[in-house]
Structure 1
Amino acid sequence: MGGADSRPGMRRRLASVVALLALAGAVVLPIVALVRHPWQLIAAVALLGTAVMAAWTALVHRGAHRVAATAVALLALVGAVLLPDAWSVVVLIVVVALAVLSTAAARVAIAPEEPAPRGLAVPPARHGVLLMNPRSGGGKVTKFDLEAEARRRGIEPVILRLGADLRELAERAVREGADALGMAGGDGSQALVADVARRHDLPFVCVPAGTRNHFALDLGLDRDDVAGALDAFGEAAEQRIDLALIGERVFVNNASLGVYASVVQSAHYRDAKLGTAAEMLPDLLGPDSRPMDLRFSLPDGSRAPAADLVLVSNGAYRLDRLSGFGTRARLDEGVLGVVTLTVDRARDVPALFAAEAAGRMGSFPGYREWTVPEFAVESGRPLVEVGIDGEAVQLAPPLTFRSLPGALRVRLPRTTPSVAPASELPDRLGALVTLLLRALVTR
């Protein structure tokens, strides 16, 4: 009886079956389609690929080139739909859906049945203070009634009013006896309050009330359960994680330089992301654009070629696509993750967008990544555009980055498994299948 109880639960077993069947379907379906109707499927793939490539080409050109590329993209899409049998396009859509289903089910199958947060069990905070930005995340503080939720748990709420200094509010909370500081807001606000907690060696509570909440994601928090994050002020698990510095400014996620940083500097970016990118990309990646003046050394000490994008992260990212900036399996390894991208305008832009669309950014020839405790970027420009945890700033070079190992004490709810998406699934298909089979048939 005890042996049966120790086996994976029915939910895990069912998820394993679904993941394996969906994965098998995603592999077998295109093979069968290729055998039965080879030219039809090849034509569908070629036309859809052409549409994607032409659309991205249109983004990095202006004038007649943009019009022509847009026309090619539309004609390719129409051609794919008007193939003699539309089933080829349907097959490709089903394959993508099966791949997504397999990934989602695999996360359920491999996740631990009982949350087991890493860290030291700690008692409730005696005087917890939660700072809240009511404008973050489209008003999540108000939507989830965090002020009332905090008071109900015996936590002192502090609202960031327009024009107030968030750092000073956090410092005042420390002076008034706070023994745990929390922040409900975006990642930039999280970094600022975390820095205050670091300087006073106080534990920090992350409440995901921003837009994307990358920091909360990599801490293993449920970003949809905003109020539930307040449980970290009660009996909790505490662990030490790293922070990172650019100059003397702390960041919790990443700092980006180059193309992405230039786009987010635009005053219109937050309200019209795609339109802003379409307006600026021809100047940044078009055939007549000039390389970014970002200079740095590679791990072997040699000077790197000019890079169009430099991403420095607090911990190494598992980065499949640049658009999402990935997730980190760990935040306690004492390293910076460095990703650089160099694009030859005439030759590499189609390959870049193909790698992005396929989620295989590491296969792009101009892509490099490594880890290092310290990193420096030089430039001949008087100011360099930088996006720090989503906030656009301009800083004078040289830009120096370094990791602060174990600098921050973080409290997490005891029901949080502390598992980031990057650590849930292996990056090799064979290893994933092995884990799924093990979850299905072993004790």
Structure 2
Amino acid sequence: MAAAVALLCAAAALAVVLEALADRPIALPVSIVAVAVTLLAGWAALVGRGSRRAMATLVAAVAFGGLIAFAGAAGLVTVFVTAALLAASGVAARGAFGRHRPSGTRVGPARHGVLFVNTRSGGGAAGRHNLAEEAGRRGVAVVPLTPNTDLRSLAEKAVADGADVIGIAGGDGSQALVADVARRHDIAFVCVPAGTRNHFALDLGLDRRNVAGALDAFGEAVERRVDLGQVGGRVFVNNVSLGVYAEIVQSDSYRNAKAGTAAAMLPDLLGPGRAPPDLRFTGPDGQPEPTADVLLVSNNAYQLHSLGGLGTRPRLDGGNLGVTALRVDRAQDVPTLVALESVGALDRFHGFHQWTSQVLRVDAASPTSVGVDGEALRLTPPLVFSCLPAALRVRLPPQAPGVPPLRPRVCATPSALLHIAAGRPGT
């Protein structure tokens, strides 16, 4: 509804200007352009952040000043009504792009909650946030992990001993392992974002800065079902990367400078002396693809504008895998690719393709390097990816802020609002 209101108010503002200045051949086109620029820049300012928000705010202010100068010839009423419609459109757009709070079922406190704590994950995040003490205060049993601990065996033992809710404070690889145990026994799972990137927590709608607050999910909470991904019997909560991207995410510098690391590594990884990876799969049109330089298979689709930024998933219950393939002509495309990656416009590259599928098979002649939720592995092909719809019961704190807002590029904002108004925000 908010998206529809934003679009209707935008159309009404244009209509008011058109009606008031129809007989003014110079003021009319300038005012129409000023309204359009004010709308686009205003939307970007309200849903953007950082330097993008500041630049968009400046552009919107300049464009609105031009609108006042030209539309003012039609009278103050025209200016006032147009300004009110523009403001209403902006507020509605902010609501449309705001954090989405997924629906779920209210549940009571865990009877026997168990939290596994990886004390080394995230540079010692568990210790910095006093997770063991905070969990104990909430009546949750804490199991610290030591080097060479068999986490799966510990999780299975906790379930056998009567745990009805199990959780993990650690990175996404550990999250996937404990989530798989919860899935197999159909008990609830709690994600505590104590890793480095915490992409799963972000897309669940948790506040990654309030690490201890995630423990409130062991109390009265909201429970919902989300999908999981699977490859060769191994569950993943985020994604599996193959090809060049698998090498980028395994770089030590990637953790602290994602976009810069990706842009810096791409020229070497895609240089003329590098042979394309041996990755054979079926493309979105059903035709066989002989290779891809980057292949990313995710648990639901990402809004992906940059390999370095990775992006977010508007939903985790779509019942599909997200597939991203990138094919590069090494002789011509690398400078363009690096430039688009640097400005977060990778999806504009001509060799970039995204689609969804419930199953994907990848063939190769030999064992293939992959990154499964950031963990470097070598798997023997064929690699068969599948989605496990509604496989995991996740508990979230009632105060969780929700899934991060959509942040489309400025020129794509009207299209994004149309998709939201039609009930397809992830399109």
In structure 1, C-alpha distance between the alignment counterparts of 2:407 and 2:105, rounded to whole Å: 21
Contact conserved, 2:242 with 2:296, CA < 8 A, in 1? yes
- Relative distance call for 1:24 and 1:417 in structure 2 (3 A) is closer
Distance 1:143 1:107, change over 3 A: farther
Decide whether the 8 Å contact of 2:259 with 2:308 is kept in 1.
Answer: no
- Aligned-partner Cα distance in 1 for 2:362–2:294: 12
Name 1:25's counterpart in structure 2: 58
In structure 2, what residue type is equivalent to 1:218?
Answer: D
Q: 1:383 and 1:275, CA in 2 relative to 1: closer, same or farther beyond 3 A?
A: farther
Distance in 1 between residues matched to 2:408 and 2:265, nearest whole Å: 36
Please show how residues 386-401 of structure 1 align to structure 2 within 5 Å.
386-401=370-385
Task: Look up the match of 1:224.
Answer: 209
- 2:164 and 2:335 mapped to 1: Cα distance? 53
User: What is the DSSP-based 3-state SS (H/G/I as helix, E as strand, rest coil) of the residue aligned with 1:328?
Assistant: coil
1:111 corresponding residue in structure 2 = 98
- Is residue 98–residue 406 contact of structure 2 (8 Å, CA) maintained in 1? no
Write the distance in 2 (CA, Å) between the matches of 1:407 and 1:256. Answer: 22
Residues 270, 412 of structure 1: alpha-carbon distance in 2 compared, 3 angstrom cutoff: closer
Residue type matched to 2:58 in 1? G
Q: Which letter does structure 1 place at the counterpart of 2:150?
A: D
CA deviation after TM superposition for structure 1 residue 426, in Å: 9.5
Contact 1:237 1:413 in 2 (8 A): yes
* Count of aligned positions: 348
Residues 397 and 266 of structure 1: CA distance in aligned 2, closer, same or farther (over 3 Å): farther
Compared with structure 1, are the counterparts of its residues 219 and 266 closer, same or farther at alpha carbon in structure 2 (3 Å cutoff)? closer
Q: Contact 2:97–2:406 (CA<8 Å) still a contact in 1?
A: no
Give the deviation of 1:282 after TM superposition.
Answer: 5.7
1:348 aligns with 2:333: yes
1:329/1:276 Cα in 2 relative to 1: closer, same or farther (>3 Å)?
closer
Which 4+ residue blocks in structure 1 deviate beyond 4 angstroms? 15-18, 27-30, 105-110, 263-283, 423-427, 431-435
Task: State the match for 2:115 in structure 1.
Answer: 130
Is the alpha carbon distance of 1:29 and 1:397 closer, same or farther for their aligned partners in structure 2, counting shifts above 3 Å?
Answer: farther
* Deviation of 1:398 (Å): 1.0
Distance 1:174 1:307, change over 3 A: same
Instruction: Tell me the SS of whatever aligns to 1:174.
Output: helix
Asked if the contact 1:188/1:391 (under 8 Å) is kept, the reply is yes
Say which SS state the counterpart of residue 158 (structure 1) adopts. strand
Question: How do 1:78-117 and structure 2 match up within 5 A?
Answer: 111=98, 117=102
Q: Deviations over 1:260-286 (max 9, x none)?
A: 213455689779989997997565211
Q: How far did 1:236 drift?
A: 0.5
2:305 corresponds, among 320, 337, 361, to 320
TM-score normalized by the length of structure 2: 0.73
- What is the CA distance between 1:292 and its match in structure 2? 1.1
**CA apart distance, 1:109:** 8.9
Check whether the contact 2:248–2:265 (CA below 8 A) recurs between aligned residues: yes
- Distance in 2 between the 1:180 and 1:107 partners? 36
Which among 376, 380, 386 is matched to residue 402 of structure 1? 386
Give the direction of change, closer, same or farther, for the CA distance of 1:247–1:272 in structure 2 (3 Å limit): same
Q: TM-score, normalised by structure 1?
A: 0.71
Match of 1:251 among 233, 236, 242: 236
Q: Measure the CA separation in 1 of the matches of 2:187 and 2:282.
A: 36
CA distance in 2, matches of 1:360, 1:275: 14
CA contact (8 A) 2:241 2:297 kept: yes
Aligned-partner Cα distance in 2 for 1:367–1:120: 39
C-alpha separation in 2, matches of 1:202 and 1:144: 26
2:367 matched to which residue of 1?
383
Q: From the superposition, tell whether residues 120 and 18 of structure 1 become closer, same or farther in structure 2 (CA, over 3 Å).
A: same
- Report deviation, 1:19: 3.0
Per-residue deviation at 1:355? 1.6
**Which segment is superposed worse, 332-341 or 17-26?**
17-26
What is the rounded CA distance, in whole Å, between the counterparts of 2:225 and 2:411 in structure 1? 26
**Could you tell me which residue of structure 1 aligns to residue 162 of structure 2?**
177
**CA RMSD, aligned part only?**
3.5
Give 1:197's aligned residue. Answer: 182
Change beyond 3 A, Cα 1:184–1:259: same
Which whole-Å CA distance do the structure 1 matches of 2:225 and 2:295 have between them?
27
Q: Is the 8 A contact 1:117 1:415 kept in 2?
A: no
Query: In 2 relative to 1, CA 142–273 (structure 1 residues): closer, same or farther, beyond 3 Å?
Result: same
What's the CA shift for 1:354? 1.9
Larger CA deviation: 409-418 vs 238-247:
409-418
Task: State whether residues 191 and 201 of structure 2, in contact with CA within 8 Å, keep that contact through their aligned partners in structure 1.
Answer: yes
**For the residues of structure 2 that align with 1:172 and 1:143, how far apart are their CA atoms?**
28
